[in-house]
Amino acid sequence: MSDHFQTILLFGPPGVGKGTQGKILARIPGFFHSSTGEIFRNMDAHSEMGKMFFQHSTKGELLPDDVTIRIWHQNIYANTILGLFKQHADLLVLDGLPRSVNQAKLLYRYCNVLKIIHLVCRDKEALFERMRKRALKESRNDDAKPDVIRRRFEVYERETMPVLEFYPKSIIAEVDAVGSPACVMRSILDAVVPIQNKHFQASP
């Protein structure tokens, strides 16, 4: 596992705040945030991969697993070459991946998952509204459609939730996602600081 990315997963339903918490965590030295949502949204819409992504996303569906992993790994490799992600010094904070059990299996080739932060919010309507507002703010009108948002929740419950069963319960930390970003981050840090300490001590 020495050549694998030492990884923390941010896990939870659409709109729960994975991206927000990932960005905050990335401001702390030793953490590198990788958001598959951002990677996909920044793709050239006219490229072959970009067209494929937008065809799926406008329906609230996931890209094929092998395509998702390939695009993500190309991005991580580019960040490594640029020196933005230092594999042996940084913990990889992964947001939005894996989204299916098969993706989790494919990801095993690259990542050693040390901790899963499971962000939990029982109020689905609040998540629904948060997603709608975010899509409108970012001028992604298709993503703001109620049927697309509902489809995303259905896909999450059917394909993504089972991912938690793939990993040992001992590495999963449930965090209440309701509250201020700082309050949620404090709970996340309680779970990840011991992981970073251990990684820091083991780093060459």
3-state helix/strand/coil string of 69-106: HHHHHHHHHHHHHCCCCCCCCCEEEEECCCCCHHHHHH
Average pLDDT over every residue of 23-42 = 89
Question: Which of 95 and 51 is assigned the larger pLDDT?
Answer: 95
Classify residue 158 as exposed, middle or buried by CB count within 10 Å of its CB (0-12, 13-18, 19+).
exposed
User: Rounded to an integer, what distance in angstroms lies between the CA atom of residue 32 and that of residue 10?
Assistant: 12
| Confidence at 7, pLDDT banded by 50, 70, 90 | very high
Place of tokens 């001590």: 201
Average pLDDT over every residue of 54-82 = 80
Average pLDDT over every residue of 13-39 = 91
Average pLDDT over every residue of 109-133 = 88
Question: Which of 125 and 108 is assigned the larger pLDDT?
Answer: 108
Predicted local distance difference test score (pLDDT) of residue 151: 86
Phi and psi angles of residue 34, each rounded to the nearest 5 degrees, phi first: -120, 115
Predicted local distance difference test score (pLDDT) of residue 2: 57
pLDDT of 95 higher than 90: yes
Predicted local distance difference test score (pLDDT) of residue 55: 64
Predicted local distance difference test score (pLDDT) of residue 107: 93
Predicted local distance difference test score (pLDDT) of residue 70: 86
Average pLDDT over every residue of 5-32 = 93
- Chain segment 140-198, per-residue pLDDT in tens: 666 678 888 888 888 889 999 999 999 999 999 999 998 889 999 999 999 999 999 88
Predicted local distance difference test score (pLDDT) of residue 121: 87
